Structure 1
């Protein structure tokens, strides 16, 4: 974690330390290769934003109590599901690096990576069932289904210049926001919070997740490969048309021609990047990310004041701060 996120997540800093210690123990792989793959994944680090949201929502909905063991287990399940989705993403994208660390498919092979992802999904499902809360099981099961739907949507729409902003947001919900939304709501369910609070937590996670994905897609054009932990402009080259591209196509008709021919001619990708950077696409995407982040902050109004509520609110600022 950066010093900023460490400070931001101070209310759950110790909770996240416990989570990191528990994750490898929870895997319990009987085969050493699966165990090694899982350890490699969790050692790769990351900000642990998703389990942090669960733990902050737990504390914000029970301000006078410590998170229960079920809350902690939910946070661990959330990180396992997220990690499993990354493994499958890397296989589909044929990625060599994530967070500047070799991907499982590159370190082992695609077969091991797919099995490792399946194994993590299966383990998380088993621990989820053991929470003995049907509402929470349904919420997190929906996330796993959404991941698959988002991946299929993305694969079907490669180089599709007719992609709309709504379809982009749908895909972004399935691939990113669903986990944040449903796990935040699940935390409220475990706290026995009322329907208004649990629905507000869902909306918070949905808006934060959409802002998070939009920002990531902006950084694909404005960030360096070193900062991103993967090759810059990778999505565009593979035909995954993200929100800056969708906006830019409206202003730069030649960009659509380059995409339709799948950057088949020399220097096509560089021409496309120049057109995007000379449009308002990135700025319009910034405005959309800020809109969703602001809405996420407003979704917290029904929560009582607490350090955890404040941290959830500050997360909305942190997400968009990465593009300014």
Structure 2
């Protein structure tokens, strides 16, 4: 999105960073990078870096941006296996193209590569900060796996799970860019909070789009969260307004048209609006977190990114 001018360089560097002597493993790792993506996370790292250092990006911050995308991509490979997704970014998923075994190894390999490059940043604080994200991913997946089709799952638990699965990486990478710039602790924490709230808003909107988006827009079939029993904010809000949705969830969408019926019921309830309002609150919190940053074009873009998160619905 905001990284488009340098996306060719990023893509080239990503492929160089995942090079391996095993051709199948390399092909699997390269598969998603070739498919592209929004490059949302590395864009944030670069914007934070420029906002803190008079439009200058350090070499270590450029590397952190690339590491962030590798970690994100590794998590997608594993997510697709767990959710049994057939497509990602408009192309076949790694486990569909190769095999589940190769996909697991490819995801592990990408995590390992990101850890190696992270260690070479030679900044212990940043290493500790970003390394925790990988354990957060596992925590998020475990939490999600324990509550599938569970209508007793609360909104607070949903937010915690969303932090581990999405917001943790965005928060840590924004803070990591600040740490590499040597800023004081208060500014570092503010940028962490910016990334945290932005990440939560981003996930909530993604969960709404899973119910209202098209195949062309999503790059996969809508309703995948429902099908897998992953109850997201718009679903949880809708359950309290329409008992029929709970009934469909309880029988795990066992009948042919259950998924489409559930999507229609959710779209006609107030759950979508409530989820959007919650996302808007997190966007406002993200904007407040960077309010004290010195005025610059990069700060304006960070604000624009936050506002764009909600605008993706339109």
TM-score (norm 2): 0.97
Shift in Å at residue 265 of structure 1?
3.3
Alignment pair present for 1:28 and 2:19: yes
Alignment pair present for 1:140 and 2:130: yes
- Listed as ranges, the matches of 1:65-80 within 5 Å are 66-80=56-70
Structure 2 distance, partners of 1:263, 1:101, is: 26
SS of match in other structure, 1:251: coil
* Residues 160-191 of structure 1 deviation map (CA, whole Å, 9 limit, x = unaligned): 01010001111111111000000000000000
- Listed as ranges, the matches of 1:105-184 within 5 Å are 105-184=95-174
Structure 1 distance, partners of 2:11, 2:187, is: 28
Shift in Å at residue 132 of structure 1?
1.1
Structure 2 distance, partners of 1:27, 1:221, is: 34
Structure 1 unaligned regions, length at least 5: none
Kept in 2: contact 1:200–1:302 (CA 8 A): no
Aligned residues: 314
- Listed as ranges, the matches of 1:56-67 within 5 Å are 56-63=47-54, 66-67=56-57
* Residues 220-243 of structure 1 deviation map (CA, whole Å, 9 limit, x = unaligned): 111111110011111101111111
Structure 2 unaligned regions, length at least 5: none
Structure 2 distance, partners of 1:125, 1:162, is: 37
Kept in 2: contact 1:286–1:323 (CA 8 A): no
TM-score (norm 1): 0.94
Shift in Å at residue 301 of structure 1?
1.2
* Residues 72-127 of structure 1 deviation map (CA, whole Å, 9 limit, x = unaligned): 11111000000000000011111110111111111101000000000000000011
Structure 2 distance, partners of 1:188, 1:25, is: 26
Structure 2 distance, partners of 1:265, 1:228, is: 24
Q: Please list every run of at least 4 consecutive aligned residues from structure 1 whose deviation after the TM superposition is greater than 3 angstroms.
A: 12-17
For residue 214 of structure 2, what is the aligned residue in structure 1? 224
* Residues 10-42 of structure 1 deviation map (CA, whole Å, 9 limit, x = unaligned): xx5544443222111111211011111122111
SS of match in other structure, 1:56: helix
Give 1:46's match in structure 2, choosing from 17, 24, 37: 37
Structure 2 distance, partners of 1:257, 1:87, is: 32
Structure 2 distance, partners of 1:266, 1:61, is: 54
Structure 2 distance, partners of 1:177, 1:98, is: 20
Give 2:288's match in structure 1, choosing from 287, 298, 304: 298
Shift in Å at residue 206 of structure 1?
0.5
For residue 237 of structure 1, what is the aligned residue in structure 2? 227
* Residues 273-300 of structure 1 deviation map (CA, whole Å, 9 limit, x = unaligned): 2321221000111111111112111111
Shift in Å at residue 266 of structure 1?
4.2
For residue 311 of structure 2, what is the aligned residue in structure 1? 321
Structure 1 distance, partners of 2:31, 2:253, is: 35
For residue 190 of structure 1, what is the aligned residue in structure 2? 180
* Residues 182-218 of structure 1 deviation map (CA, whole Å, 9 limit, x = unaligned): 0000000000011111101000000110111001100
RMSD: 1.2
Shift in Å at residue 44 of structure 1?
0.6
Give 1:18's match in structure 2, choosing from 9, 29, 51: 9
Structure 2 distance, partners of 1:40, 1:317, is: 31
